[in-house]
Amino acid sequence: MVNDEELRKAKRAIMTWLSFGTYPKEYLLFFFYWSLFNSYYGLGLFKGGDKNKVLSFGRQYNALWNKVIKANARDLVAQECVGNGKGENPPSSQVKAATGHLRNLLGVHKRQICIHCRPDKRNQCSRVAEKGKDGHLEALLRIIYQIRCNLIHGDKVELKEDQGERNKKLVRLATPILREILLNL
> What would the pLDDT profile of 83-137 be if each residue is shown by its tens digit?
876 666 777 888 888 998 999 899 998 877 777 777 777 776 776 666 668 899 9
The answer to whether residue 8 sits within a structural domain is no
CA-to-CA dists, residue 116 to 11, 66, 91, 113, 120, angstroms = 33, 29, 16, 6, 11
pTM: predicted TM-score of the whole model, two decimal places = 0.86
pLDDT class of 155 with cuts at 50, 70, 90: low
Domain assignment present for residue 7? The answer is no
Listed range (25-29, 64-68, 78-82) with the worst mean pLDDT: 64-68
159 pLDDT exceeds 60?
no
Distance between CA atoms of residues 67 and 86, nearest Å:
33
Structural domain count of the chain: 1
Classify residue 122: in a domain, yes or no. Answer: yes
What angle, rounded to 10 degrees, do the helices at 70-77 and 136-152 form?
Answer: 50
pLDDT value, residue 3: 84
Let me know if residue 17 belongs to a domain: no
Considering the domain boundaries, does residue 60 fall inside one?
Answer: yes
Q: Is 22 left (phi over 0), alpha (psi -120 to 50) or beta?
A: beta
Task: Please report the sign of the dihedral spanned by the C-alpha atoms of residue 93, residue 98, residue 103, residue 105.
Answer: positive
Q: Report the pLDDT value the prediction gives residue 166, as an integer from 0 to 100.
A: 84
CB 159 within 8 A of CB 14: no
How far apart are alpha carbons 47 and 64 in whole angstroms? 21
Question: Is residue 156's pLDDT more than 70?
Answer: no
Q: How confident is the model at residue 60 (pLDDT cuts 50, 70, 90)?
A: very high
